[in-house]
Structures are given as structure tokens and as C-alpha cells.
Amino acid sequence: MGQLTTLLLLLLLLLLALCWGRRSNPDGERPSCDRCDRRLACNCSHGGLTRVPSVTGRALTLDLSFNDISEVGGDDLTRHARLGSLSLHGNKLAVIHPSAFDPLWSLEELDLSDNQLTALNHRWFSELGALQELNLLHNPYSCLGSRPVFQRLVRLRRLGVGGPALEELKRRDLSGVTQLEELTVHANNLRRYETGTLADIWPLGRVTLSLHGPFVTNVSLASAVLGDVSYPETQLILEDLHLVRNQSAPTNTRRSSMMSLFRKMTFCNISVSDEALTDFLVAMDGVPLTSLFMEGITLTGEGRWERARRTDYRSFDEVFFRNVVVLNVFHFASFLNLSFLLKYPRKVSIINSQVFVMPCVTSRLLVSLQYLDLSDNLLTDMTLVETLCDGDGTLKGLRVLNLSGNALKSLSTMSRQVAKLSKLTHLDISRNGYSSMPQGCSWPSTLRYLNISRAKLTNITSCLPATLEVLDLSNNDLQGFLLTLPALRELHLSGNRLLRLPPGRLFPNLKTLKIQSNTLNMFDRSDLHSFSRLQDLQAGQNKFVCSCDFVYFLQSAVKGGEGVHLTDGEESYVCDSPFYLQGEPADRVQLSFVVCQRVLFVSVSCGVALFVGLLVCVLLWRLHAFWYLKMTWAWLRAKRGSRRQRRRRRDGPESEALLSYDAFVSYSERDASWVENFLVAELEEPRENDEGSVNHRAPRPLTLCLHKRDFLPGHWIVDNIMCAMERSRHTVFILSENFVQSDWCRYELDFSHFQLFDGSAGGDAAILVLLEPLSKDDIPKRFCKLRKLMSSNTYLEWPQEEERRGEFWRKLRHALRGEEEEDD
């Protein structure tokens, strides 16, 4: 119950917090968009937005295209003083506040195309002094406004205006626009045009006009528009013409001055009848037109253009047709009667136009031809023979032949057909069906460039001419490349199945090698250095094995250390194996020393370990660690031993029997003579003068334990010592310089000390005998035990004078006998 209340309370709080958050957000329901990249380009397109979202004020590019925004409010863009590019393309924009764009004083590009703007307001652009590109196409306004809209746009260079509803262009509409690189006017339904409206724009780089309606309904209007933009340097693009009238219009037959100045004309998306075309040809008679580009043409006629055969097109240089559809292809007349037109052009391109043959007779008309592009058509080996007149050298001026994207299959046919083209330098037969190469071919000796990419070749032979400078065999199925090409400068082998770089000695002049997307595992310095002139290499997107050698080599190559430039960017060199490096860019891989220098690493680390071990040993030795270790061990055993002993002592008096010595003598080997000559003699064999005394009975001889004499051979010395001390009532330490130097003595001392402090053994188990004057300070610090003993226990000093020695022995005996003597 209580839990439920708490839960409800929490929920309530949460709701409250949410409401508060809502209220405290000043932007209310304004959506936000944070799809900005590092260069501060915010791409909010396709976001389903219904109003301008809030975006960071630092944004430089804002793409709001393809949303449902219908209105730009007065303060929607207030924070965007830095914005350089704004796109509202493809929205439902119908209303823009007059001062909505005022804050955007850095704006250089504005795209308002494809919206619902029914009128343009001159206030919109009044503050956009930096604007260079403005696109207003595809909006339903019928005129450009009552007052000039572009007056303030002094830096405008690219402008697009018009749409399906544009009906009127007036002189003042474009005032302020003085020079443009690009002008696009969509005016398919233009009704009224004030002559001179576009005439003030100069220089004008390129003009694109859609004047479908005027060309159909009021040609003089169309002429007026064309006349206003015709300059020799201006490139004209006419779009969306639909000239299918089958009778010639009288207005067109006279030579028109409207286009007399154009040198380059482009037509896009047009349909023309024979009549319209001949009208055009007649109209352009004598105009120094050099280039004619036509893209997306539908020919409705049958190619009967002879009415225009008396025209003069001697400056005609280049014809470019792409995407031509001939409706009556089977009725189409030959070009035989077109020699007036065909004898001039040097460049002819007929691309993607379903050409399956160019009859030999037509080829013979193309007497000036140097460049022929028939790519993306339907030529086969058989029709190629017809087109090139069975290799009789008809197109003898031809330098470039492009047959890319056809249905050719036989390389030997190909080579035979071009063998006599004595000027041919470029042959592009890419994207055809070649699957094998004959052993020998005959090419013109001038051939420098050959492109057989995107075929199905599995092997190469000496069919490839030795004169080649550029060879493209990319996207085939090659597994190897072994052919000497002494003149080759560029070799393209990307997209094959090569396992390694071809040997460089075959290409003494190679400067560029592209071998991306093969199955190379690695390549190294010697591979590269076999190419004596290589400058640029592209070998990315292979399945690299990132071994240490390869990674080091690549990183040095990226830095330019190998004399070869990796032009495809270092990021395309990605490791495929080992597994833990898969997907890593090879130039950023950090291979550890351990992986790369295993032998060196092992030997160095062993060396270091050995050295450290030695160092530690020396250090331990210096610090007497071994001694301490031994001590600790002994101490542990002593602890156990003494516990056992104590137990035994508690258990009964028989323990006393275990004490078989009166004293264990601890002394240094160097003091042995003293011990043997004086101590043993005095204590174990009592002197006569004592025996002689009447009152005193001779002192009982004491039993001493001497390691030399009483230790059991064959036992560990520590055990012996412990055992000896345990079995002795006292321990006598013969202190001297020598003692201090002897490890065993020290050990014995320490051990006795444990016993001492273990308590029950008796207060003065240790007796110190100072053999020579030894001050406490002479004893090294680490013998703290000894120092402590010396300060706490009184010690006996061996007197140098004879007469005081009796006293000494008495005292010693007394100490050794302890209570026993007191009892006497």
C-alpha cells in the first residue's frame, strides 16, 4: 500500500517536471535538428519538419530540403549570422516573412526552388549583400514582383528564376543583376517579354533557357529572349523544346539574327521533326557555330534534311549527341545527302543512342574526323567491320576511337580493323565482352593508350602492343601480369585477382600503378624498388596481412620515405589479418615491440632478468638477507622445538635428564685456542689447588658442549646448534672481534636470545664472556640482539693480568652452577 503511494507520488513529480521543462523551453513546439558534422554542415533534409527547426547558431551550412515547411517566420533564422548556405528546396513554402532573411548577412547560397511561392517580395533579399547564388526555380509565381527583387544582390553570380506559371518578364525585373556566371530561366509559358530584360547582363558565362511555349506559339518572343543573351563567349543551353511541326514555319526560314552570335549551343530534352531541324539548319546557315551538343533528343522524322544542303557550316567542329531516340529507325534515311554537314566536324560523339552500325558510306563522308566516340551503343564485331570499312583505313585521320560499352568480343577482329589507322593513339574498348587474347595482334604503331577495362580477360599475351604508354586492364579476371612493356607510364590493374605486384623490371618507365581491390597480401620495399621510375601507387582495398614488416614499410611509405606517393590516401590500406587488427587502417596500427622483435625481446628481457637477479642477489648478500632467512627458519624451528621442550618439561622431571651439558660454548673458530687451553682446562678438569684446599671440596667438573667435539657429524649444523643449546643449561658466548665476524656465532647468540625470552628456560641462560675489550659501539648495528644483551646482562671480562684470573673463573663457575652453588 505504502509502496503504491510512493510510486504514484513519483509519477506525479515526473509529470510536473516534464510540464515545467516544457514551459521553460522558450522555443515551444519548434523542433530541433542536430545532424551537423564536423565542418558545421547541418543536414536536416528528409526530416518531416513542418517548420524551421532550431539548429546551432554556429552552423555554416543548413540543408532543410525535402521537408514540409510552409512558412519561414520573422525570427526563425535570427541566430544564423554565420550561415553561408541555406537550402529550402522541395518544401511547401508559401509564406516568407519580409525580414526573415535579414540576419543572414554571411549567406552566399540560397535555394528556394520547388516551393509554393506565388509572389516574390523585394524585401526578402534586401540585406543579403554577400549572396552569390540564388535559386528560385519551380515556384508558381507569374511575375518577378512589382519592384525589382535583385536590386541589392551586387555579388550575385548564379541565378535561377522561373517556373510553370511565369508569364511575364519586364525590363526592371532584373535590374541590379549585372554579370553572371550562370543564368537559368524557366519560361515555358512565357507570354510577355519586354525586349532588353536580359540584355544588361554581361559578361554572361552560361545561359539555360526553357522556352517551350514561346517557340511553339510566338517565335518572335523566343527570338527576343535569345537575342538578349547572345554573345560569342556565352554558352547557350536550350531545354524542353518540342518542335514537331511537319510544315516549315515561314518565320523560321529567313535567316535569323537571334542566334547569330552563339558559338556553342546545347539542346536538352527536345523533340524535333525533319522540318524543324532543316529550318534550324537553314536558319543557322553561315553562323560560325563550332559546337553542337544535343542530349535527350527524340527525332520524329526520317532524316530527310537535304533542303539544307546548300548551307555553310565550315566552322562546324564538334557534334555531341547523347541519348538520341530515333522514332522511325527503320525508315531513317542514310546520311548520304548530308556530306555538306559531315565533312567538317573533327569530333563526333554519338553516345547511348542505340547505334548498331555506322555504314561504311557514312564513314567515308567523315573526312575530317579525328575523334569518334560511339560508346554505349550496340555495335558488334560484325557491324564494326562495316563501320570501319573492313579495316581499309577509311577514317585515316582518326586519333581517338571510343567504343566503350558495346558488344564487341574479338580482340583480333578489333586489332585488324584499326591496324591501318595510322594516326590512332587512343583506343577505348572498355566494357565490352572480351574474354581472351590471341597470341599476336597487329596494332597501329602509334597506339599509346589502350583501355580494356571491365571485360572478362583472364590472361594477357603479347597481343598487347609494346608501344603502349597507358594501359587499363582494371576490373578483369587477371591472376598475373608478365609482359614487358618498355614504354608504359601508367598501368591500371585494379579489380583483378593479382596476388602480388607485377615485377617492376618489366616496366622500366612506369610512373603510375593502380592495383587496388585485388588480393594482394602485402608488398615490400624490394617490390617497389624493382620499379625504377614509379612515382604514384594506388594499392589500397586489398586484403593486407599486417605483419610487422608490412606495417613499418607502409608507415614509412605514407610519410614519403619510399620515394613513392600513395595517391589513394593512407586510409584505404586496411588490415585484413591478423584477426585482432581486422578493419584497422594499417598506417595507424601500433604493433608492439613484443610482437615485432620477438627474438630481440626475449634475449633482452632474459638479459635484464638475469642482471636484475644478480643485482638482487648481490643486494641480498650485502644486506645479509640469507643470514636473516636462515635465522627466520631456525627461529621457526626453535619456536616449535622450545614449545615441545616446554611441554616435556611440564610433563615430568625426566626432562631434566635431557640436559646433558652444563654449558654450550659459543665461540669463534679463531678463539678456539683460548677455549681449549683455558676454558676447557679450567672448567672440565678442576685445578689441584682447589683440590688441595681443606674446607672446600674440589669443584665438580662441569660438562661443556663444544661444537668441534660434541656435534654429531652428518647433521645440519643448525640442528646441531639447536640441539646442543637445548641440551645445555647455559650458553656461554665468548665475545671478541672474531665472534662478531662469525655468522654461526651470531646465529647461536640470536637463538639463545629466543630461548631467553621464551621465558621458562631461566633468566640467565646466556653468559657473556668478553675476551677482549669490546665496546658496544664496536658491534655492528644489525647485531641488535647482542647490543641489547650487552647493555642488559652484565658480562665477564677476561682479565689480562694473571692474578685476577682466579676471580674470573670463580665468577664464571658461579654463574654456571647458579643455585646449585648457593645450596652449598
Ligand X SMILES: *[C@@H]1O[C@H](CO)[C@@H](O)[C@H](O)[C@H]1NC(C)=O
Using CB under 6 A as the criterion, which residues of the chain lie in contact with ligand X when the complex forms? 43, 45-46, 63, 192-193, 212, 218, 220-221, 224, 240, 242, 246-247, 269, 306, 333-334, 336-337, 351, 373, 375, 400, 402, 404, 426, 428, 430-431, 451, 453-454, 459, 461, 470, 472, 492
Residue recorded with cell 533579399? 125
CB of 101 to ligand X, least distance (A): 19
CB 734 within 8 A of CB 661: no
CB of 610 to ligand X, least distance (A): 56
For residues 19 and 309, give the distance between their C-alpha atoms in angstroms, rounded to a whole number.
Answer: 82
* CB-based closest residue to ligand X: 246
CB of 322 to ligand X, least distance (A): 9
| Cα four-point dihedral sign 224, 225, 226, 229 | positive
For residues 404 and 350, give the distance between their C-alpha atoms in angstroms, rounded to a whole number.
Answer: 12
| Cα four-point dihedral sign 111, 114, 120, 123 | negative
> Under 8 Å CB-to-CB from 333, ≥6 apart: which residues?
302, 303, 304
For residues 270 and 209, give the distance between their C-alpha atoms in angstroms, rounded to a whole number.
Answer: 12
CB of 436 to ligand X, least distance (A): 9
CB of 337 to ligand X, least distance (A): 4
CB of 477 to ligand X, least distance (A): 10
Nearer to ligand X, 83 or 631 (CB): 83
For residues 523 and 520, give the distance between their C-alpha atoms in angstroms, rounded to a whole number.
Answer: 8
For residues 260 and 277, give the distance between their C-alpha atoms in angstroms, rounded to a whole number.
Answer: 17
3-state secondary structure at position 527: helix
CB atoms within 10 A of CB 715: 11
Nearer to ligand X, 307 or 630 (CB): 307
CB of 470 to ligand X, least distance (A): 6
Nearer to ligand X, 492 or 729 (CB): 492
DSSP letter for 122, please. T
Nearer to ligand X, 392 or 477 (CB): 477
Nearer to ligand X, 118 or 334 (CB): 334
CB of 486 to ligand X, least distance (A): 19
CB of 459 to ligand X, least distance (A): 4
Residue recorded with cell 650487552? 790
CB 359 within 8 A of CB 334: yes
| Buried/exposed 462-487: b ≥16 CB within 10 Å, e otherwise | ebbbebbbbbbbbbbebeebebebee
Nearer to ligand X, 43 or 720 (CB): 43
CB of 172 to ligand X, least distance (A): 16
CB 130 within 8 A of CB 158: no
CB of 184 to ligand X, least distance (A): 13
CB 416 within 8 A of CB 440: no
Altogether, the residues listed in the chain come to a count of 824
CB of 175 to ligand X, least distance (A): 19
Rounded to the nearest 10 degrees, how much is the dihedral formed by the CA atoms of 462, 464, 470, 471? -90
CB 410 within 8 A of CB 433: no
Nearer to ligand X, 120 or 211 (CB): 211
Nearer to ligand X, 152 or 191 (CB): 191
For residues 494 and 360, give the distance between their C-alpha atoms in angstroms, rounded to a whole number.
Answer: 37
Q: Residue 174: how many CA atoms within 13 Å on its side-chain side?
A: 30
Q: Is the peptide bond before 578 cis (omega within 30 degrees of 0)?
A: yes
Nearer to ligand X, 415 or 430 (CB): 430
Burial status of residue 102 (CB atoms within 10 A of its CB: 0-12, 13-18, 19 or more): middle
CB of 294 to ligand X, least distance (A): 13
Q: Residue 771: how many CA atoms within 13 Å on its side-chain side?
A: 20
Nearer to ligand X, 374 or 558 (CB): 374
Nearer to ligand X, 472 or 662 (CB): 472
CB of 58 to ligand X, least distance (A): 17
CB of 331 to ligand X, least distance (A): 11
Nearer to ligand X, 192 or 700 (CB): 192
For residues 653 and 645, give the distance between their C-alpha atoms in angstroms, rounded to a whole number.
Answer: 12
For residues 232 and 229, give the distance between their C-alpha atoms in angstroms, rounded to a whole number.
Answer: 10
| Cα four-point dihedral sign 46, 47, 48, 54 | negative
CB 542 within 8 A of CB 550: no
| Residues forming beta bridges with residue 359, ordered by sequence position | none
For residues 264 and 804, give the distance between their C-alpha atoms in angstroms, rounded to a whole number.
Answer: 139
| Buried/exposed 147-166: b ≥16 CB within 10 Å, e otherwise | ebbbebbeebbbbbbbbeeb
Nearer to ligand X, 178 or 323 (CB): 323
Nearer to ligand X, 473 or 761 (CB): 473
Nearer to ligand X, 311 or 642 (CB): 311
Quick one: cell of 179?
554579370
Nearer to ligand X, 228 or 682 (CB): 228
Q: What's phi and psi for 760, nearest 5 deg?
A: -60, -20
CB of 293 to ligand X, least distance (A): 14
